[in-house]
Amino acid sequence: MMNGRLIGPMVFVFWMVSGLNGVYCQGVNNVGGEKSDSPEKVSGIAGLGEKVLDLVTWEKEGVVYTIYPSLSVSPRNGFVYGVMPAVKWNSAHKGKFNTLAINAEHSTKGMLQLQLEHEWYLGESWLTTGDAFLNSREDQFWVGANDDEFFFDRREFRIEWDFLNNPIPSFWIGGGILLNNNHFEESASLVFGEEGLKGAEGGFIAGVGPKLLIDTRHRTLSPEKGTWLEIIPLFAGVAGFGDYRYQRYTIDGRQYIALKEEVTSLAFQIVVDYADGDIPFYEEPQLGGKERLRGIGHPLEETGKAVWLARAEIRQHIWWRLGVVAFAGAGKADSGYKKPFADMVSSVGGGLRFRMLPDDPLNVRFDFGVSSIGTTGFFISLKEAF
């Protein structure tokens, strides 16, 4: 999802005003030592906010639908407008929901983005996850001895799709595919070629590989308890299919701890991401971005063939549909792991959470982070970062 997005002004105003009204509502609810912050019991402006949000959220035969506007303004993209629909329904696994999230945006400067992300449990034994992404935009990279900013037009199409089987409880095994095609403007290809970057002209990537997943989380949306471990070897260019031949190995481990159920929780993550072979520069493992160290705003600013990172986050429900988080992490992007702790990059930040659905933790997250190398990041997206 685009960096710097603001959710539609009507919904945003109600969130903010309702948050201020929460101070009053909590004081009333706390009389006699009893506190209630359920949507059914809130009053005043918060109750009005619920009525407004009911206009963009509805349920039919066990399926919950929601659709929010997406608006932002930036010098790079101009005025951006679009919609963010999401669909959620129960699966055969308790606490594990099927979800489909869509983001469609356009801008006055020609940016076009369409993204679909899904997680579906097919009966009790099968799981499919993945996303499809189509984007035409001005992108950014850093070139030269001084890492000068370079802007270029980029068109990208990407599909990542996994299909897993559940032979025993909490254990999933299967495989996945990666299809990716990039096209850069001619002047950008010349600059990247002069820099000696692999993938200067873009091109087509086709990858395939097995996937192993251990998942003991009590739920998939904003989990508070359990362990999640994913191991993914990816092999691109098998049998000469595609323009690049490389291997990539990713290990992603997460632990969730509930300090106070549905109120306060901790989340921890460790990632090791290594690539070998002729991987294009825009596909190298990334240290930053919305799903890694959020103090690095652009994912291409810190990349390398060997990346590791560790981070922690505390998540706190405040009132009604609102929550906050604070996070910190550190890691490194390099050509190898010979000196993994030298010149590490650290990142800290915080964010706001808004629950899109009244009874399920499908959150819109607003995150801002800073890093030890002087970069910042601001992200608005669906679901938690990890």
String of DSSP letters for 331-356: EEEES-SSSTTTT-EEEEEEEEEEES
pLDDT on residue 12: 38
Please report whether residue 349 resides in a domain.
yes
Which burial class, exposed, middle or buried, applies to 327 when counting CB atoms under 10 A from its CB (0-12, 13-18, 19+)? buried
What CATH number has the domain bearing residue 13?
A: 2.40.160.50
- Do you know the residue count of the chain? 386
pLDDT on residue 43: 57
Integer angstrom CA distances of residue 187 from 67, 151, 190, 281: 39, 10, 5, 17
Integer angstrom CA distances of residue 84 from 12, 38, 50, 68: 14, 25, 19, 5
pLDDT on residue 45: 67
Instruction: Name residues whose C-beta falls within 8 Å of residue 256's C-beta, 6 or more positions apart in sequence.
Output: 217, 223, 224, 225, 226, 227, 228, 265, 266, 267, 268
Digit-by-digit pLDDT tens for the chain (386 residues) are: 334 333 343 343 334 334 433 433 343 344 344 444 444 455 566 677 777 778 888 888 889 898 888 876 665 677 889 998 999 998 988 888 899 999 999 999 889 999 999 999 999 999 999 999 999 999 999 998 889 999 999 999 999 999 999 999 999 999 999 999 999 999 999 999 999 999 999 999 999 999 999 999 999 989 999 999 999 999 999 999 999 999 999 999 999 999 999 999 999 999 999 999 999 999 999 999 999 999 999 999 999 999 999 999 999 999 888 999 999 999 999 999 999 999 999 999 999 999 887 777 888 899 999 999 999 998 888 889 99
pLDDT on residue 74: 62
| 78 vs 2: CA distance, rounded Å | 13
pLDDT on residue 145: 86
Please report whether residue 17 resides in a domain.
yes
How many domains are contained in the chain?
Answer: 1
Please report whether residue 1 resides in a domain.
no
Please report whether residue 246 resides in a domain.
yes
Please report whether residue 79 resides in a domain.
yes
Please report whether residue 276 resides in a domain.
yes
CA 289 to chain centre: 9
What DSSP letter does each residue of 61-109 carry, written as one string?
A: TTEEEEEEEEEEEETTTEEEEEEEEEEEEE-SSTT-EEEEEEEEEEETT
Helices (H), the chain: 9-29, 44-54, 186-194
Tokens of 252: 């992603």
Domain holding 376, by residue range, is 6-382
Please report whether residue 261 resides in a domain.
yes
Instruction: Name residues whose C-beta falls within 8 Å of residue 370's C-beta, 6 or more positions apart in sequence.
Output: 295, 347, 348, 349, 376, 377
Nearest to 288 by CA among 277, 299, 279, 272: 299
Residue with tokens 């509805």: 58
Please report whether residue 116 resides in a domain.
yes
